[in-house]
Amino acid sequence: MGDRLLEVRNLKTYFYIKEGELRAVDELSYTVNKGQFVSLVGESGCGKSVSALSIMRLIPYPPGVIVGGEIIFDGKDLLRLKEEEMRSIRGNRIAMIFQEPMTSLNPVLTVGRQISEALETHRGLSNQDAIEEAIRLLKLVGIPDAERRVNDYPYQFSGGMQQRIMIAMAISCKPALLIADEPTTSVDVTVQAQLMELLNNLRKEFDTSVILITHNLGLVARYADYVNVMYAGRLVESGSIDAIYNQPSHPYTMGLIASVPRLDLQRKESLHVIEGTPPDLTRLPQNICAFASRCRFTLGKCIKAMPELEQMGENHFVACFRHNETKALAEAET
């Protein structure tokens, strides 16, 4: 670890829709080191998927535009590459696993054909070799009877198996960076455990960096090295896994962690609840803290200026005016 693989600097991805300008991702900066398992956490609409699609340069235009920022990958700014150059990176050096395998796999092609396509394009394998490689990959991700099933269509597999096929496709070119966008939200807990173990083992085997996009704080605790918490398009807190879980300092992070019912603690009468709903990004007030309207600790200054990310510890950054007090305030409440 320590070698930088990806650096996102001041990324701004806006959507221009009839309601106006929607700042899906605003001034977002984070880094991913070689071999690191980074997680991007937040609720729907907080911009975590859009930031991933921005790295892949897959933002639909119109309405989406990457307005500013840099995405440095392997020393090159991805946002300045020509489309052909980007195509040689996408699916090859950077691969992505999507949330719903059923809608991201092509229903009219066999799974073998879908996996071999990338192998032929990026690794220049012949048709025959590519199919053989596809069988090897299917075995690697735990599809039984791979020689026969390589000729099956996606609908013939269960949801968990389809996601394994997506993983096989994603790792087919041994990517340096793997982006997994909510890979397990549509499957059962037991299958989720299988898939995450598989992903984690493959990452160790190939020394791949992973960005896991999720709202499941349990998965993050189990697998990630580093956590970035997003709210309304911006980073509100980031830190090493221990910093975030031992000393969450942004009220939003604290709320997120506390609102998950836990199996290891005594049952409580009531769950901690973050009041209100995530803000409408087209009507987001600028230059104030976006979380202020839902926050328990809002002060006058929170609605006068936007808090910047400040360093709290060696590996810990928080964007909150009251980050030094939040822990004491929360303790005083309970």
Partner 1 sequence: MKGDGALIQVKGLIKYFPVLAGVLKRKVADIKAVDGVSFDIRHGETLGLVGESGCGKTTVGRCILRLHEITSGQIFFEQRGITQLKGEQLRCMRRDMQLIFQDPYASLNPRMTAGDIICEPLLVHNMVRGNEYRAKVAELMKMVELDPRMEDRCPHEFSGGQRQRIGIARALATRPKFIVCDEPVSALDVSIQAQIISLLMRLKKELALTYLFIAHDLSVVRHISDRVAVMYLGKIVEITDSDELYANPLHPYTRALLSAVPIPDPKIDRQRKRILLSGDVPSPLFPPSGCRFHTRCWLAKDICKESQPELRDIRSNHWVSCHLVV
User: Residue 180 corresponds to which amino acid?
Assistant: A
Question: Toward partner 1, which CB reaches closer, 69 or 248?
Answer: 248
Build a one-symbol-per-residue string for 122-151: x at contacts with partner 1 by CB under 8 A, - elsewhere. Answer: ----------------------x-------
Round to whole Å and give the CA distance between 6 and 28.
13
- Report the nearest approach of partner 1 to the CB of residue 314 (Å): 17
| Residue 207: alpha-carbon gap to chain centroid | 18
Instruction: Give the residue ranges of DSSP H helices in the chain.
Output: 48-55, 83-89, 101-104, 111-123, 127-140, 146-149, 159-171, 189-206, 217-223, 241-246, 251-258, 326-333
| Residues within window 272-311 making contact with partner 1, judged by CB under 8 A | 272-275, 277-278
- Rg of the chain, C-alpha, whole Å: 21
Tracing tokens 């440095």 back to the chain, one arrives at 72
- Report the nearest approach of partner 1 to the CB of residue 148 (Å): 17
Question: Toward partner 1, which CB reaches closer, 77 or 242?
Answer: 242
Tracing tokens 């001034």 back to the chain, one arrives at 27
Tracing tokens 């032929």 back to the chain, one arrives at 120
Question: Toward partner 1, which CB reaches closer, 157 or 321?
Answer: 157
Question: Toward partner 1, which CB reaches closer, 89 or 295?
Answer: 295
- Report the nearest approach of partner 1 to the CB of residue 44 (Å): 6
**CB–CB of 171/209 below 8 Å?**
no
- Report the nearest approach of partner 1 to the CB of residue 31 (Å): 21
- Report the nearest approach of partner 1 to the CB of residue 315 (Å): 14
What is residue 191's three-state secondary structure? helix
From the list 236, 255, 256, the residue with the least C-alpha distance to 323 is 236
User: Which one of 171-179, 205-213, 261-269, 314-322 is the stretch in contact with partner 1 (CB under 8 A)?
Assistant: 261-269
- Report the nearest approach of partner 1 to the CB of residue 280 (Å): 9
| Residues within window 172-201 making contact with partner 1, judged by CB under 8 A | 188-194, 197
Q: Measured between alpha carbons, how far is residue 268 from residues 258, 276, 302 in Å?
A: 12, 22, 31
- Report the nearest approach of partner 1 to the CB of residue 195 (Å): 11
Instruction: Give the residue ranges of DSSP H helices in 158-276.
Output: 159-171, 189-206, 217-223, 241-246, 251-258
- For 237-263, letters b (16+ CB in 10 Å) and e give bbbbbebbeebbbbbbbbbbbbeeeee
- Report the nearest approach of partner 1 to the CB of residue 119 (Å): 27
Round to whole Å and give the CA distance between 166 and 184.
12
Among 17, 102, 271, 303, binds partner 1 (CB under 8 A): 271
Is residue 97 part of the contact set for partner 1 (CB under 8 A)?
A: no
- Report the nearest approach of partner 1 to the CB of residue 73 (Å): 28
User: Which one of 29-37, 62-70, 111-119, 267-275 is the stretch in contact with partner 1 (CB under 8 A)?
Assistant: 267-275
| Residue 287: alpha-carbon gap to chain centroid | 26
Q: How many residues bind partner 1 (CB under 8 A)?
A: 46
| Residues within window 192-251 making contact with partner 1, judged by CB under 8 A | 192-194, 197, 215-222, 241-242, 245-246
User: Which one of 47-55, 98-106, 253-261, 316-324 is the stretch in contact with partner 1 (CB under 8 A)?
Assistant: 253-261
Binding site for partner 1 (CB under 8 A): 43-44, 144, 158-161, 188-194, 197, 215-222, 241-242, 245-246, 255-257, 259-264, 267-268, 270-275, 277-278
